[in-house]
Structure formats: C-alpha cells, structure tokens
Chains A and B, each alone.
Chain A
Amino acid sequence: MNLEKVVFGFFIMLAATLNFGFFVGDIDDPAHHDVYELFAALVVSVIATLLKLGDRTQIGAVHLATSLVADLQLIAAAMVWGYASHVSAGGLDAEMTARIVSLSGGALFANVVSVVILISETILQRR
C-alpha cells in the first residue's frame, strides 16, 4: 500500500462526495443546500487538482482536465452565491439557489468522471 495513492484517492472521492452532498435536495430550496458544504467541496476539489499536477501520462492528463472542469464549475457556483447573498437585492432566493445548485451539478458530473477514471485505472492495474 502506498500512502500517496491513499491520499490521492481520498481527495478525489471526498471531492465527489462533498459535491454530491451539496447537490442533493430540491434544486431551488436554499434550506437543502449548505454553503459550508459548497466551501468544503470547492477547497477539496482545488486540492485534488493540485495533487494531479505534473503527471505526464495520458490518464493523468484526463484526470487533471476533469478536475479543472469541476473547479471551474464550483468557483462559478461560489461566485453566484457571493453575488446572490451580498450584491443582489433579492438575496439568496429560489432562482439564485437553482443557479448555484445546477452549476454544482455540472461539477458533480466532472467529479463522477474523475472517480470512474480512478476506478478504471485501479482495475487496469495488474499488480
């Protein structure tokens, strides 16, 4: 067992699970979506991206790409949240919540792909 691999797998899984946790619930109900969970999802996703840096293989490149997509989506979601709660006159209403959650849904898809790659890579490995 390799500690580096454990950490790597842990962060990828955690990014996906946190993202999922934030995503589930009614899409336009602010009560179902906790901002702390979004924050955690974003931070873990960025750390997962950094962990993937510098791998020169093809699979490493796809890993990095999916992670970058997830980051982008989550950062967009966080920015919409910031706009909704501090700038917009209506505050965090149903419409804004729907936007944030749908963006995080996109990130969730990227994270799922990341997990699929992780699993398939593990299965392909014969050792």
Chain B
Amino acid sequence: MLRSATRHQSVFFLILRRMRTPLILLVASMAISVLGLTLMPGVGEDGQPRRLGFFEAFYFVSYTATTIGFGEIPHAFSPQQRLWVIFTIYLSVVGWTYTLGSLIGLLSDRNLRQAIALERFARAVRHLHEPFYLVCGYGETGRLICRALDQMGRRAVVVEIDETRVAEIDLHAHRADIPAVAADAGRPEILQLAGLIHRDCAGVIALTNDDQTNLAIAIAARLLAPQIPALCRAERREVAANMASFGTRHIINPFERFGETLGLALRTPSAWMLLRWLTGFRYSRQTTGSTPPRGRWIVCGHGRFAAGLIDVMDDEALEITIIDPDPPDEIDHRWVVGDATGELALLRAGVREADGIIAGTNSDLDNLSIVVTARELNPALFVIVRQNRYANRDLFTVLNAEISVVPSEVIANECLSILATPLFLPFKRAVRAADEAWCALQLERLTRLMGEERPEIWGVKIVRDEAQALARWLDEGREVRVGELLRSPADRRTPLACAVLYLQRADGETLPMPADDTLLRRGDQLLLASAADCRQALELTLANDHTLTYLMTGEEISGGRLWRILAGKRKGLAAARS
C-alpha cells in the first residue's frame, strides 16, 4: 500500500520533471535578458549616463515578457537599451510560449490524466471512514448491486475497465458518492488502491464479464485480504472449481444457480415456491399449479445456460428434445438441427405434444421469437425464458413467461442476500434439504400470516448493539420465547405478521423455522421475515425496554428513573394502607 501510494503521490513530481527543460529555459532567458539590460548604457533625466539596476531591469523584463508592457520605465531608453529590449522580447516570447505549450500538452496527456484520476480515486478511497464494498465491474449486475447497496445505506467503490460505464455512475442518482475508476480490476495494485486492504473494506464483489479477471480478483482477495468475504461470478465450471480450490467463499455461477433452482422446482415444488416467494415473487394460491411439469420438454439453444438445465433434467429423467443449429459430435438426446425461431423446427421437435419449452439462446430477440411462435402452436406450454439483457425487461414483462431467468438479476440477488442477510444461505440450504410436506406446511403457514406480497427479509443478532432491550432482559436471567416476542406492541394479544425463519445459536447450533416455544439466548442470530409494516414494530420491541416489558408481562412501566421511583413509592404506600 505504502509503495503504491507514494508512487501515485508523485504525479506532481512527474509533472515537475517533465517541465524541467522548459522551466530551465525560461529561467535562463529571463536571466540573460535582465543581465543584458543592466549592462546596456543609458541616459538619465539629467543627461548623465545611467544604467538600469537589477531591480528595475527585472521589473521591466517581467512585464515585457508576460506581454503586459507598461512602457519604458523609469525613463526613456537609450538606443543601446532599445536594441537589447528587442532581443529580450523575442527571446522571452519564445521562452514563455514553449513553457506554456509544454504545460498544456502535459496536462492533456492521456496517461497523465489517467494517473491523476487514479490518484484522486485512491485518495477518495483512503478517506472513506465507513464500511464499504469493493465492486469490480459495473455492468448490469454491478449497477443493480450498487443501487441496492446505496438504498441499504452502504457505501461502494467501483473498478470498471470501460470508461463510458464509469462516466455513467455519475449519471445514475446515488445517495452517497461512489468512488470509481476506469482500470483493470485484475491487477492487484489497482485492487489495493481501490481499498482491498483498507481497514473498512467489508467485502469484494467480482462481477466482470471476464471469468479470468474474476479469478484474478478472487486470488488477490484470498492472498491480500483473507479475512474479507469475496463474492465472485464464474460462468465456466473450471474457473469456479479453480476459485473453490483456494477457498473463495462465495462463487456465483448464474447458470448453475438456475439449474439448481429448476431441479428444486421439479423435486420439491413447495420448497421452490417458498424460496421464490421469499426472494421477491408474489405468491398466489391460484397459481400454485404453475410449477414446471414433469413431462416432455423442448430446449432451444445449447449454450452454458441450457447445458446446465439439461443436466438437471437428465437427473430428473425428463424427456428432452434439443433444437440447435450445430449439434456436438456425440449426441445423447433427441436433437433437431435447425433454427428454433422457425415454426418448422418447433413442429419437428414435437411442440404440440410438449409440456414445456426453454428458450435459452444468448439472443434476447431469438428467445422472444421462440416463445411467441411456440405459444401460437401450443398455448398450454410451460415457458422458461432466458433474458440476457436487463434493458429488455419491458418486452419480457409483456411476454409473461412462467419463469424468466435474468442472469444479472440472479447474481445480484444472490450477492445481496449474502451481504445483507448472511443467514439466508444456510436457511436456503435447509429448505432445499427439507421434504415436500414440511415445505408445503411452512409455505401455507407463512403466507397466511404475512399475506401474498413479498415479505421483508432481515437479520438481527441478540447483542446490546442491535437488540438492546432484549439483550439486557436476557442478561438479567429472564426467559424469552420466540412466540412471546412476535406480538404487536400496541396489543400483546395480537400476533405480528412476522416469523423467525432461521435461528443460529452462538455455539453453532441451527434451527430452521424454530417453534414458538423456543427459548432465545444471548448471541443468537435470527433471520426474520415480516410483512411490510411489521419490521418497525418488532425493532421497537427489541430495542425499547418499555415495549419489551409490556409484551412479556402485560404491565406498562413508567418512563424515566424518577417516575419509576415514584411508582415504586406509590405501590409501597398502597401496600401499607391496605
């Protein structure tokens, strides 16, 4: 850090060094002019010979060389002096022009401007005094993540290789300033300048389009800042395996992630519905039938996206037909060679008898066209469509496919849930492992409690900083059960539309969906889901002694210390009287 910081501080010295020759020439020309002027014989006002002193000569040359030109001061010059002044003028004009030209050329130098921008960026990062995330890559995903981080009130620092995208950051209205630089995030010194080893760096998010760059970021993060969580996007399996081999904690492969999701939807539809509802899709009892059918599927396109899905469907023993213009040498599925956007290929693949279709090419227009054509041929199809560009979302909304997969959104959601609610990942794992009946029960219970809209997911740790009143209450040795806490502060008989999804004890014990009579302990971490307006109510209970006491005992306690003492006296008096 020190070395690279000093290197970039020296941009100033770099300018000085490049200006060395022009400045020396300038000084020399001024010196010659001044010296010559003091040596030229002149005539004073009294007619006596009089030369100019250094003071007057320097004064004259200064205003002449800078083209101000006050005239012949202190008195009219002699012909010899005028001759020298002519020489001075041409000499100094050349000197100044050369100096200014060099300076302007230097300042418009592209390399220097980059060096200055980098230095300014590094200074902005050094002066951050709150936790921030280092986001590498400001594409669609990076944009979604920066916006979400900004809304969560967290700071971000962006490294992006494309200058126009860096310029876009200023155009997007963010609440907090986001320091950004156009540089290659794969270079460790850039990452260091961007705050990888800054004491407030809370995490590194590698989202560039290039897997190799993401790999380089993962390695740099692992070696330079092993304690910081690194979230890395990897679209190729070998890169993901490489990242995993040196302990990158979160590797996000959007295609594989969706493959897993599809597998879950086919195996345990309720678990899929539950997670889908918790991560932002409206749940509706009428559409509970809209899970992917176990039947005949047509897969259009054979890229990374489709390949992942085909593996999953093979595991579930579904019948698949693939439509793609260039099949590999070894074909292990029914294969229709052709363009899926055309009616002919779809018919040959048996679209009329199929139950579902996956439009998974890497062109959004092709995918849209496939879905529209296929639906005309068979309106009952279950449609899974891949949306490559977030910018096309309006078209896909109108299409209203059963499932649209947006890789950038998949990655962004995954990153945000890791960053904002770290417990969501183990909870997700627990749900994936659970059986259909349990998931269906929980889905039913939670949606009855909280309604069909997407609930808010948040986490809290029972410590003084986050849940002051509850932590104190537990410290005093009193018992609190989960069910007692989730009640309305206005009326303790009314339950809050709020549920504990996951509980992790300080000793590592974990409880998915803890029952109402579960005892809470100091240091527990809770993952909560709540309807829109209930989070505040619960936060009040956790932080406020009065509300907590009311919920636990049903008594309203008095406000300040004085009132408590008075209340105590009054109780004592009443007791004495009776």
Could you tell me which A residues sit within 8 Å of B by CB distance?
35-36, 39, 43, 46-47, 50-51, 53-56, 78, 81-82, 85-86
Q: Using a CB-CB cutoff of 8 Å, which residues 18-53 of chain B contact chain A? A: 18-20, 23-24, 27-28, 31, 34-35, 38, 53
Contact yes or no, B16 A43, CB < 8 A: no
Interface size on B, residues (CB 8 A): 20
Least Cβ–Cβ distance between B109 and chain A, in angstroms: 15
Q: A35-B54, A54-B13, A56-B10 are in contact. Are A43 and B20 (CB under 8 A)?
A: no
Q: Beyond A47-B24, A85-B53, is A56–B13 a contact (Cβ under 8 Å)?
A: yes
Given contacts A39-B54, A46-B27, A86-B55, contact A54 B34 (CB under 8 A): no
B55's nearest neighbour on chain A, judged by CB, is A82
Assess the B53–A86 pair: CB atoms within 8 A: yes
12 A–B contacts, CB within 8 A, in A order: A35-B54, A36-B38, A47-B27, A51-B20, A53-B16, A53-B17, A53-B19, A53-B20, A53-B23, A54-B13, A85-B55, A86-B53
Knowing A43-B31, A56-B13, say if A50 contacts B55 (CB, 8 Å): no
- How far is it, in angstroms, between the C-alpha of A85 and the C-alpha of B13 when the chains are bound? 38
Q: How far is the CA of A47 from the CA of B22 in the complex (A)?
A: 11
Interface assignment of B14: CB less than 8 Å from any CB of chain A: yes
Give chain A nearest CB distance to B84 CB in angstroms.
16
Does B24 contact A50, Cβ atoms closer than 8 Å? yes
Q: Which residue of B lies closest to A87 (CB)?
A: B55
- In the bound complex, what is the Cα–Cα distance between A62 and B31 (angstroms)? 26
Q: Which residues of B contact A55 (CB under 8 A)?
A: 17
In the bound complex, residues from chain A placing their C-beta under 8 Å from that of B56 are 86
A39, A46, A54, A85, most chain B CB atoms within 10 A: A54
> Please, which residues of chain B bring their CB within 8 A of the CB of A50?
20, 23-24, 27
Q: Chain A contacts of B18 at CB under 8 A?
A: 54
> Given the interface contacts A47-B28, A54-B13, does A39 sit within 8 Å of B55 by beta carbon?
no
Residue contact B24 to A51, C-beta cutoff 8 Å: yes
> Given the interface contacts A39-B34, A43-B31, does A54 sit within 8 Å of B55 by beta carbon?
no
Complex formed: what's the CA distance from A53 to B12 in Å? 10
Q: Is the CB of B13 within 8 A of A53?
A: yes
Residues of B at the A interface (CB closer than 8 Å) are 10, 13-14, 16-20, 23-24, 27-28, 31, 34-35, 38, 53-56
Q: Which residue of A lies closest to B16 (CB)?
A: A53
Q: With a 10 A CB-CB cut-off, give which of B10, B19, B54 has the most chain A CB atoms.
A: B54
B14 CB contacts on chain A under 8 angstroms? 54
Which residues of B have CB within 8 Å of A56?
10, 13
**Contacting residues, chain A, for B55 (C-beta < 8 A):** 81-82, 85-86
Sample of 13 more A-B contacts, CB < 8 Å, known A54-B13, A54-B16: A35-B54, A39-B31, A39-B34, A39-B35, A43-B31, A50-B27, A51-B20, A53-B17, A54-B17, A54-B20, A56-B10, A78-B54, A86-B53
Cα A55 to Cα B17 with chains together (Å): 8
Q: List the A side residues contacting B16 at CB < 8 Å.
A: 53-54
Minimum CB distance partner of A86 in chain B: B55
Contacts of B20 in A (CB 8 A): 50-51, 53-54
Contacts of B54 in A (CB 8 A): 35, 39, 78, 81-82
Which chain A residues border B53 with CB–CB below 8 Å? 85-86
Say how far B67's CB is from chain A's closest CB, in angstroms.
22
Smallest beta-carbon distance B484→chain A, Å: 67
Q: How far is the CB of B510 from chain A (nearest CB, A)?
A: 56
Once bound together, how far apart are the Cα atoms of A35 and B19, in whole Å? Answer: 30
9 nearest A-B residue pairs (beta carbon): A54-B17, A43-B31, A82-B55, A53-B16, A50-B24, A50-B23, A86-B55, A53-B20, A46-B27
- Which residue of the partner chain, among A39, A43, A53, contacts B27 with CB atoms under 8 Å? A43
User: What's the least CB distance linking B25 to chain A, in Å?
Assistant: 10
Chain A residue nearest in CB terms to B26: A50
- Residues of A near B35 (CB, < 8 A) are 36, 39
CA distance A56 to B9 in the complex (A): 11
Q: Considering the chains assembled together, what is the distance between the CA atoms of A33 and B10 in angstroms?
A: 40
Could you tell me the distance in whole angstroms from the C-beta of B101 to the nearest C-beta in chain A?
18
Q: Residues of A contacting B24 with CB < 8 Å?
A: 47, 50-51
The minimal Cβ–Cβ distance linking B248 to chain A, given in whole angstroms, is: 37
Docked pose: A53 CA to B19 CA in angstroms: 9
CA distance A51 to B21 in the complex (A): 8
- Nearest chain-B residue to A39 (Cβ)? B54
Shortest Cβ distance from B548 into chain A, in angstroms?
Answer: 62
Question: Nearest Cβ distance between residue A18 and chain B, in whole angstroms?
Answer: 12
Which chain A residue shows the least CB distance to B6? A56
A44 smallest CB distance to B (angstroms): 9
Residue of B at shortest CB range from A38? B54
